[in-house]
Amino acid sequence: MNRPATVVALAVGIACAMTGAAHGSDGPGRLSLDGVARAFDDAALRVNTAPASELARWTGPIYLAIADDAGMSAIAADAEAAVRALAVIAQVSVTRVAWRDARANFLVRPGSGNGAGKSPCRSTVDWTDAGRMVRAEIYVNLEIPGRITRCLNHEAMHSFGFRAHAHAALSVLSYTYATQADLTAVDRIMLETLYDRRLKPGMTVAAAAPIACAIIAEKIGASAADTATACPGRGAAPQRHLTAFGGSRSIADAPLPALQPSYRGDGL
Protein backbone atom coordinates (compact mmCIF):
# COMPACT_ATOMS: atom_id res chain seq x y z
CA MET A 1 0.00 0.00 0.00
CA ASN A 2 1.30 3.37 -0.90
CA ARG A 3 1.87 5.96 1.76
CA PRO A 4 -0.12 9.20 1.41
CA ALA A 5 0.96 11.37 -1.48
CA THR A 6 3.58 14.05 -0.92
CA VAL A 7 2.90 17.74 -1.43
CA VAL A 8 5.77 20.11 -2.19
CA ALA A 9 5.75 23.82 -2.85
CA LEU A 10 8.26 25.47 -5.17
CA ALA A 11 8.79 29.08 -6.14
CA VAL A 12 10.58 31.10 -8.79
CA GLY A 13 12.13 34.42 -7.74
CA ILE A 14 10.92 37.43 -9.67
CA ALA A 15 12.60 40.67 -8.67
CA CYS A 16 15.97 39.71 -7.23
CA ALA A 17 16.89 36.34 -8.73
CA MET A 18 20.52 35.26 -8.52
CA THR A 19 22.94 36.24 -11.23
CA GLY A 20 26.29 34.79 -12.10
CA ALA A 21 28.20 32.66 -14.55
CA ALA A 22 26.82 29.25 -15.39
CA HIS A 23 28.67 26.12 -16.37
CA GLY A 24 30.19 26.93 -19.74
CA SER A 25 29.55 23.52 -21.27
CA ASP A 26 25.81 24.11 -20.91
CA GLY A 27 25.84 27.33 -22.91
CA PRO A 28 24.07 27.80 -26.24
CA GLY A 29 25.25 25.49 -29.00
CA ARG A 30 27.31 23.27 -26.75
CA LEU A 31 26.07 20.54 -24.43
CA SER A 32 28.26 18.27 -22.34
CA LEU A 33 27.09 14.90 -21.06
CA ASP A 34 28.16 15.66 -17.52
CA GLY A 35 26.50 19.10 -17.62
CA VAL A 36 23.11 17.85 -18.87
CA ALA A 37 23.19 14.76 -16.64
CA ARG A 38 24.01 16.99 -13.68
CA ALA A 39 21.07 19.24 -14.56
CA PHE A 40 18.77 16.22 -14.68
CA ASP A 41 20.05 14.89 -11.36
CA ASP A 42 19.60 18.30 -9.74
CA ALA A 43 16.10 18.93 -11.09
CA ALA A 44 14.48 15.49 -11.34
CA LEU A 45 16.19 13.47 -8.62
CA ARG A 46 15.84 15.97 -5.81
CA VAL A 47 12.92 17.46 -3.90
CA ASN A 48 13.86 21.03 -3.09
CA THR A 49 17.32 20.65 -1.50
CA ALA A 50 17.20 16.96 -0.52
CA PRO A 51 17.64 13.76 -2.57
CA ALA A 52 14.31 12.40 -3.78
CA SER A 53 13.04 9.08 -2.54
CA GLU A 54 11.67 8.22 -5.97
CA LEU A 55 11.40 9.42 -9.55
CA ALA A 56 8.00 11.01 -10.21
CA ARG A 57 6.11 11.82 -13.39
CA TRP A 58 2.62 11.82 -14.85
CA THR A 59 1.39 8.34 -15.74
CA GLY A 60 -2.19 9.26 -16.52
CA PRO A 61 -4.02 12.07 -18.30
CA ILE A 62 -3.84 15.70 -17.26
CA TYR A 63 -7.11 17.56 -16.77
CA LEU A 64 -6.17 21.21 -17.00
CA ALA A 65 -8.30 23.87 -15.34
CA ILE A 66 -7.54 27.60 -15.50
CA ALA A 67 -9.16 29.94 -12.99
CA ASP A 68 -11.64 32.52 -14.22
CA ASP A 69 -10.47 35.19 -11.76
CA ALA A 70 -9.89 38.75 -12.97
CA GLY A 71 -6.86 38.98 -15.24
CA MET A 72 -6.61 35.28 -15.98
CA SER A 73 -8.39 35.46 -19.34
CA ALA A 74 -5.42 37.44 -20.70
CA ILE A 75 -2.98 34.62 -19.94
CA ALA A 76 -5.22 31.56 -20.25
CA ALA A 77 -4.15 30.75 -23.81
CA ASP A 78 -0.46 31.08 -22.92
CA ALA A 79 -0.90 28.95 -19.81
CA GLU A 80 -2.61 26.20 -21.77
CA ALA A 81 0.02 26.38 -24.51
CA ALA A 82 2.84 26.05 -21.95
CA VAL A 83 1.30 22.93 -20.43
CA ARG A 84 0.49 21.40 -23.81
CA ALA A 85 4.01 22.03 -25.14
CA LEU A 86 5.51 20.01 -22.30
CA ALA A 87 2.81 17.36 -22.61
CA VAL A 88 3.64 16.81 -26.29
CA ILE A 89 7.27 16.12 -25.39
CA ALA A 90 6.27 13.92 -22.44
CA GLN A 91 3.56 12.21 -24.50
CA VAL A 92 0.94 12.87 -21.85
CA SER A 93 -2.64 13.67 -22.83
CA VAL A 94 -4.13 17.01 -21.78
CA THR A 95 -7.84 17.83 -21.64
CA ARG A 96 -8.98 21.36 -20.81
CA VAL A 97 -11.83 21.28 -18.29
CA ALA A 98 -13.89 23.86 -16.46
CA TRP A 99 -12.45 25.38 -13.30
CA ARG A 100 -14.77 23.49 -10.96
CA ASP A 101 -14.62 20.18 -12.83
CA ALA A 102 -14.08 17.36 -10.35
CA ARG A 103 -11.52 15.75 -12.67
CA ALA A 104 -9.19 18.75 -12.61
CA ASN A 105 -5.70 17.68 -11.49
CA PHE A 106 -3.59 20.47 -12.99
CA LEU A 107 -4.69 23.95 -11.96
CA VAL A 108 -3.46 27.41 -12.95
CA ARG A 109 -4.62 30.30 -10.76
CA PRO A 110 -3.55 33.83 -9.83
CA GLY A 111 -1.10 34.24 -6.99
CA SER A 112 -0.94 37.04 -4.47
CA GLY A 113 2.13 38.67 -6.02
CA ASN A 114 2.78 42.36 -6.47
CA GLY A 115 4.80 44.56 -8.77
CA ALA A 116 7.79 44.47 -6.42
CA GLY A 117 8.15 40.75 -7.03
CA LYS A 118 7.11 39.58 -3.58
CA SER A 119 4.97 36.44 -3.32
CA PRO A 120 6.29 35.32 -6.69
CA CYS A 121 5.04 32.68 -9.06
CA ARG A 122 5.09 29.31 -7.40
CA SER A 123 3.69 25.82 -7.70
CA THR A 124 2.71 22.83 -5.62
CA VAL A 125 3.12 19.27 -6.84
CA ASP A 126 1.68 16.10 -5.41
CA TRP A 127 2.78 12.52 -6.09
CA THR A 128 2.64 9.03 -4.56
CA ASP A 129 5.55 6.87 -3.41
CA ALA A 130 5.02 4.86 -6.60
CA GLY A 131 6.16 7.96 -8.49
CA ARG A 132 2.75 8.82 -9.91
CA MET A 133 2.03 12.53 -10.21
CA VAL A 134 -1.56 13.15 -9.15
CA ARG A 135 -1.94 16.91 -8.87
CA ALA A 136 -0.19 20.18 -9.68
CA GLU A 137 -1.09 23.81 -9.08
CA ILE A 138 0.58 26.87 -10.58
CA TYR A 139 0.14 30.30 -9.00
CA VAL A 140 0.83 33.17 -11.41
CA ASN A 141 1.86 36.66 -10.31
CA LEU A 142 -0.19 38.78 -12.70
CA GLU A 143 1.38 42.04 -11.54
CA ILE A 144 4.59 41.58 -13.58
CA PRO A 145 3.50 40.90 -17.19
CA GLY A 146 7.08 40.71 -18.44
CA ARG A 147 7.77 37.70 -16.24
CA ILE A 148 4.67 35.63 -16.93
CA THR A 149 6.23 33.56 -19.72
CA ARG A 150 9.11 32.53 -17.44
CA CYS A 151 6.67 31.89 -14.61
CA LEU A 152 4.49 29.59 -16.70
CA ASN A 153 7.38 27.62 -18.22
CA HIS A 154 9.35 27.37 -14.97
CA GLU A 155 6.40 26.23 -12.89
CA ALA A 156 5.10 23.92 -15.62
CA MET A 157 8.46 22.11 -15.58
CA HIS A 158 8.09 21.66 -11.81
CA SER A 159 4.58 20.39 -12.41
CA PHE A 160 5.78 17.70 -14.81
CA GLY A 161 8.06 16.10 -12.20
CA PHE A 162 11.09 18.38 -11.82
CA ARG A 163 10.83 19.03 -8.09
CA ALA A 164 14.02 21.08 -7.73
CA HIS A 165 16.21 23.40 -9.83
CA ALA A 166 19.01 23.12 -12.37
CA HIS A 167 20.89 26.26 -11.43
CA ALA A 168 24.19 25.41 -13.17
CA ALA A 169 22.57 24.76 -16.56
CA LEU A 170 21.09 27.02 -19.22
CA SER A 171 17.57 26.08 -18.19
CA VAL A 172 14.28 27.76 -17.41
CA LEU A 173 14.67 25.98 -14.05
CA SER A 174 17.80 27.97 -13.24
CA TYR A 175 17.96 31.11 -11.12
CA THR A 176 21.46 31.73 -12.46
CA TYR A 177 19.89 32.39 -15.87
CA ALA A 178 17.22 34.54 -14.22
CA THR A 179 15.96 36.04 -17.49
CA GLN A 180 15.56 32.71 -19.33
CA ALA A 181 11.86 32.66 -20.14
CA ASP A 182 11.57 29.90 -22.74
CA LEU A 183 12.44 26.23 -22.64
CA THR A 184 16.00 25.46 -23.72
CA ALA A 185 17.66 22.47 -25.34
CA VAL A 186 18.63 21.25 -21.87
CA ASP A 187 15.01 21.50 -20.69
CA ARG A 188 13.75 19.51 -23.65
CA ILE A 189 16.37 16.80 -23.17
CA MET A 190 15.61 16.59 -19.45
CA LEU A 191 11.88 16.26 -20.14
CA GLU A 192 12.39 13.63 -22.86
CA THR A 193 14.64 11.73 -20.47
CA LEU A 194 12.25 11.85 -17.51
CA TYR A 195 9.48 10.41 -19.67
CA ASP A 196 11.63 7.83 -21.46
CA ARG A 197 10.23 4.32 -21.01
CA ARG A 198 13.57 3.06 -19.71
CA LEU A 199 12.97 5.11 -16.59
CA LYS A 200 10.12 3.94 -14.38
CA PRO A 201 8.05 6.01 -11.98
CA GLY A 202 9.04 5.16 -8.42
CA MET A 203 12.66 4.33 -9.28
CA THR A 204 15.19 5.25 -6.63
CA VAL A 205 17.78 7.93 -7.31
CA ALA A 206 20.56 5.31 -7.35
CA ALA A 207 18.72 3.25 -9.97
CA ALA A 208 17.49 6.14 -12.11
CA ALA A 209 20.59 8.35 -12.35
CA PRO A 210 22.86 6.02 -14.39
CA ILE A 211 20.01 5.12 -16.77
CA ALA A 212 19.09 8.77 -17.23
CA CYS A 213 22.73 9.59 -17.96
CA ALA A 214 22.86 6.88 -20.65
CA ILE A 215 19.64 8.19 -22.23
CA ILE A 216 21.05 11.72 -22.27
CA ALA A 217 24.27 10.41 -23.83
CA GLU A 218 22.24 9.00 -26.71
CA LYS A 219 20.33 12.23 -27.18
CA ILE A 220 23.40 14.48 -27.38
CA GLY A 221 25.56 11.96 -29.28
CA ALA A 222 28.16 11.53 -26.54
CA SER A 223 31.04 9.17 -27.21
CA ALA A 224 31.18 5.72 -25.67
CA ALA A 225 34.22 6.80 -23.68
CA ASP A 226 32.44 9.84 -22.26
CA THR A 227 29.41 7.71 -21.41
CA ALA A 228 31.53 5.11 -19.66
CA THR A 229 33.20 7.84 -17.64
CA ALA A 230 30.15 9.91 -16.73
CA CYS A 231 27.33 7.43 -16.16
CA PRO A 232 28.33 4.41 -13.99
CA GLY A 233 27.83 5.03 -10.28
CA ARG A 234 25.87 8.20 -10.82
CA GLY A 235 23.32 8.91 -8.10
CA ALA A 236 25.38 7.33 -5.35
CA ALA A 237 26.37 10.70 -3.84
CA PRO A 238 24.12 13.71 -3.15
CA GLN A 239 24.30 16.67 -5.49
CA ARG A 240 25.56 20.03 -4.23
CA HIS A 241 25.27 23.76 -4.92
CA LEU A 242 21.48 23.85 -4.90
CA THR A 243 19.12 26.57 -3.75
CA ALA A 244 15.36 26.06 -3.70
CA PHE A 245 12.28 26.98 -1.77
CA GLY A 246 9.71 24.69 -0.28
CA GLY A 247 8.83 22.00 2.17
CA SER A 248 6.78 18.83 2.24
CA ARG A 249 4.23 17.15 4.41
CA SER A 250 1.70 14.36 4.22
CA ILE A 251 -1.29 15.05 2.07
CA ALA A 252 -3.30 13.75 5.02
CA ASP A 253 -2.68 17.18 6.55
CA ALA A 254 -3.97 18.89 3.40
CA PRO A 255 -6.63 16.68 1.81
CA LEU A 256 -7.57 17.02 -1.84
CA PRO A 257 -8.82 19.11 -3.50
CA ALA A 258 -7.73 21.93 -1.16
CA LEU A 259 -3.98 21.42 -1.21
CA GLN A 260 -2.10 23.81 1.03
CA PRO A 261 1.68 24.01 0.71
CA SER A 262 3.66 23.86 3.92
CA TYR A 263 5.93 26.69 2.75
CA ARG A 264 5.36 29.80 0.67
CA GLY A 265 8.47 31.53 -0.64
CA ASP A 266 8.75 35.23 -1.31
CA GLY A 267 11.50 34.89 -3.91
CA LEU A 268 15.20 35.59 -3.73
The tens digit of pLDDT for each residue in 11-32 reads 654 333 333 333 434 444 479 9
Residue 101 lies in a domain: yes
Residue 150 lies in a domain: yes
* pLDDT at 268 (0 to 100): 22
How many separate domains does the chain show?
1
Residue 224 lies in a domain: yes
- pLDDT tens for residues 195-225? 999 999 999 999 999 999 999 999 999 999 9
CATH code where residue 13 lies? 3.40.390.10
Residue spans of the chain under pLDDT 50:
1, 3, 13-29, 238-268
- Segments forming the whole domain that contains residue 191: 6-240
Q: What is the mean pLDDT of the chain?
A: 82
Residue 268 lies in a domain: no
Residue 165 lies in a domain: yes
Residue 255 lies in a domain: no
Residue 263 lies in a domain: no
Number of Cβ within a 10 Å radius of residue 74? 11
Residue 138 lies in a domain: yes
* pLDDT at 117 (0 to 100): 63
